[in-house]
Structure 1
Amino acid sequence: MKKRHLLIAGLACMTILGACNNDDAGSSGQAVVEVDGHEISDAEFVDMLKERYGEAILQELVQRHLISQAADSVEIPQEEIDEELETFKSQIGVETDDEMLDALSNQFGITVENKEEFVNEYILPPLVLEKLAVEGVEITDEEKQAYFDENRDSLIEVEASHILVEDEETAEEVLDRLEAGDDFAELASEYSVDPSAEANNGDLGFFGKGDMVPEFEEAAFNMEIDEVSEPVESTYGYHIILVTDRKDSYEELEEKIHDTLMRERSRTQEEVLRDLLAQADINVLDDQFEGLFDLPDAPPVEDTPEIDGEDASDEAEDQAEDADENAEEEDES
């Protein structure tokens, strides 16, 4: 699922909160800066932060508390937590835990004692929301099978590697070497102008329809396993494609189908947060933020006919009566 968007946003909010929460700030009146003999005090500084960003920060704090409470009823596998942590490190361009902690302090102004504290404060909340979003959603085997039958062609995935070169002459040279028995991965590392080839030796993994440029997709999805293509021209150059595997059976695609149906039926994170707020007892004590957590009234429910229900039959009777009246008027005229 797509997620994590709360993480960086949360860090930004908490950076501002750090300024508001400074232990030395408040009613002391101590100056933060002096400009041409004029002092700007801590109180002025914090008041402006509160005025401009107070609502967002207060909402963030309340939401974090509610999510923390809800986490007690949610079980998150450690491997999901580890994966999320590695994704975050990649996003901010670090590799080790120490580098991450330094980046948190230097880039976001966030100080945490260790990785565990960071995980609890920032990694877990989005994961908890994700689990709550699918709570109560059940997908039956019959539903998955029906989805497979209706969407089989679009679900198929192919695993392939490729060697991307700039011109057809080089592509033919690569094909000659492949026919001579040279290793595909080694040739990808040597010839391919795809920036990722140095790291993956041309291995693209599994992909579905719509993930690649049309020319590449057309060739790859019409090849047999272990088949090598002729040069395929696209806007990127010339591709030599090697198909290494294929997923086209229900058993192979069941997990993908399950995830797709879960996404379609789950609540959004916004809906989860709204429900948590609706269930919470929130008493705003600062007049500045009065009404901040008031939820709008639900829109009136429109009268809609129920299938095989009383409303539907009543409406049908009304329509029949109207039709009879119109017919009588036409006869009289």
Structure 2
Amino acid sequence: MRKVIPVLVSIIAMLTLAACNNSSASSNSKVVASTKNGEVNKEEFYNKLVSEHGDKVLKDMVYEEVLSEKFSVSDKKVQTKLDKMKEQYGDKFQSVLKQNGFADEAQFKEVIRSSMLKQKAATQGVSVKDEEIKQYYENMKKEFKASHILVKDKKTADEVLKKLENGEEFAKLAKEYSTDKKSANNGGKLGGYTSTGKMVLPFEKAAYNLKVGEVSDPVKTKHGYHVIKVTDKRDKEDTSSIGKFKDMKDQLRQELLNRQANPDNITEIMKNAGVEIKIEELKDQISFEPKSSASK
């Protein structure tokens, strides 16, 4: 349920905000609520919506306006996504919708469509081969222990590799070079056993391809360059939650696509869309840059 709630305010406020925004100036004085102590008119209501929800609502609307020109999501795919959620919640689905303020399934389907548009944009240019899916499925049944040395550039990673080839100890070099101080202080060890979905995908792929005791070539991720050493591998004791490959194939394909999604794709599209915020109060509040970029 927690995943549904964040979009709730947006869609309800979006519909109301749009209706208010389309009203003429003279109709803004129309009363939308009255009490013994006074009245609330459209203009007051609109201003309140702008100040409390305006940045989120308007941003979502602009995203959909721009992305729907470049990408399409079929009604069939939206319905399939909805059907899966219905299956997940069972008899409680309709009550979940009502609890979150959705008048009907049609409203909720628009939220699904918007999410899928962003997903398509972020995964533009990414492809997943059948053999990758099969390997990913097999990896789900196994787990590994690993150590790593994380550095900022390939030149440094190559330097670390050369020292390892010359016989220097992995743990010593981890303490000397690794920018991941938590693991560095433990000789590069990353803790206990781990498996699919726990590490960034390039790290995970490299680790599964290594034999116990082997060291990888430099592996580039969003964190930097990793030199990885696998220290143990084993089959998972419990694989009961893993279904048959034929039943999971489509799900795993989408999971691999999502794990390779690039938010910069969306940022670039929005930069080229000529977006101009016309509401003065919101100009400084709305940005289409990824949050992470602000901290870099």
Query: Which band: TM-score by shorter chain?
Result: 0.3 to 0.5
Larger RCO (CA within 8 A; separation ≥ 6):
2
The structure with the larger Rg is 1
Structure 1-normalised TM-score?
0.43
Structure 2-normalised TM-score?
0.47
